[in-house]
Amino acid sequence: MSLKVALLFCNYGPYHLARIEGFFNAVQSYQWKVCGIELARSETEYPWQTEISRLPFPIYPVLPDRRIEQVSFLTLVKSLYQLLNRVQPDVIAISGYARPAMLAALLWCRWQHKPTILFSETTEADFVRSSWKEHLKRSLISQYQAALVGGQPQKRYLMQLGMKEESISLGYNVVGNATFHPNHILTLPKPFQKPYFLTINRFVHKKNLPSVISAYAAYRQITVDKSWDLVLCGDGELRSLLEKQIQDLGLASYIHLPGFLQQNEQLPYFAHAGCFIHASTHDQWGLVVNEAMAAGLPVLVSNRCGCFEDLVIEGVNGFGFDPENPQALTNLMLKMSSGELDLNKLGQASLNHIQKFSPDYLAQGLTKAVHHVLNHT
């Protein structure tokens, strides 16, 4: 059956490319045509730089030469509809429903009688929920014929919103694991000679970085000259606040801020870190945890992150903690750097566990979702 399946994202960053490539490779036997659609080649929030011209499948930008933020909603939707009318996919997998443009794509599908698959990483605990909003969301969710979600909390939430369990597949939240494999990155030069804890985040409130710095300050008071350093990769609106906090605590020599890094620039930091920390107060998933595990790192992950239930095996590949309790993170930093734990064993457990969460896993789940919508349309 000649079927054209489109995957719609805001813009194709490195892990989006890994996902669509995994799906493309998996469905060659079906002779399906796979294409990507992105709202723009770039956006301010995630300034990825990716090359799409040499792929074995097309990716169509709605806005090829402008950022999403540079155009009005009406202009974006008009261009999106023109592209959809030209490409005419038979099935569209749509990334979320928070952006109005994604809802506009859903509306186009309803008009054209095209089945839709929802890509969702939302959990019930992401935000405080109100009954009227949840009622509206139930009506919205009913417009999708299937969904692909990251893990168990995401699946439970969609079922709570009325989607049937048989309509939901797993495997959405994956990255290109092979890119981060220790065999490929350990030969990269060390960014620092001292051991260090690593975080990679946007510098925004929900990432909880002031608390990470406070926890590290308390950790350093205890360990003094035996301390690991702390590396905060990323950038964003809170940068000046974080810099001031670091200066006020006298930690400028021990906390490093390399800035926003493209994926290839992050690899040396993953390669030589002692432990990865993700401390968000809420996070729908936290793909950077996938990347850290694919690099063979032990992980300390907030128990409010959407990935926590599926990715962290307590005491085996890392530990969870309450993000509102800096002392809990301090204690885990002390444990990780004490020499009492076999960090290589924890890191190997991370590497082993994340192999399930691969582009192949997404491909299996998305293929299942496509078959489901074809059988129920």
Quick one: pLDDT band at residue 334, thresholds 50, 70, 90?
A: very high
Quick one: pLDDT band at residue 232, thresholds 50, 70, 90?
A: very high
Percent of the chain with pLDDT over 70: 99
Q: Indicate whether 234 pLDDT > 70.
A: yes
Quick one: pLDDT band at residue 1, thresholds 50, 70, 90?
A: low
Q: Going from the N-terminus, what domains does the chain have, and what CATH number goes with each?
A: 4-174+358-375 (3.40.50.2000), 178-354 (3.40.50.2000)
Q: What is the pLDDT of residue 124?
A: 80
pTM exceeding the 0.85 threshold for the entire prediction: yes
3-state per-residue secondary structure call for the chain: CCCEEEEEECCCCHHHHHHHHHHHHHCHHHCCEEEEEEEEEECCCCCCCCCCCCCCCCEEEEEEEEEHHHCCHHHHHHHHHHHHHHHCCCEEEEECCCCHHHHHHHHHHHHHCCCEEEEECCCHHHCCCCHHHHHHHHHHHCCCCEEEECCHHHHHHHHHCCCCHHHEEECCCCCCHHHHCHHHHCCCCCCCCCCEEEEECCCCHHHCHHHHHHHHHHHHHHHHHHCCEEEEECCCCCHHHHHHHHHHCCCCCCEEEEECCCHHHHHHHHHHCCEEEECCCCECCCHHHHHHHHCCCCEEEECCECCHHHHCCECCCEEEECCCCHHHHHHHHHHHHCCCCCHHHHHHHHHHHHCCCCHHHHHHHHHHHHHHHHHCC
| pLDDT tens readout for residues 53-82 | 889 999 999 998 888 888 899 999 999 999
| pLDDT tens readout for residues 268-283 | 999 999 999 999 999 9
Q: Indicate whether 83 pLDDT > 60.
A: yes
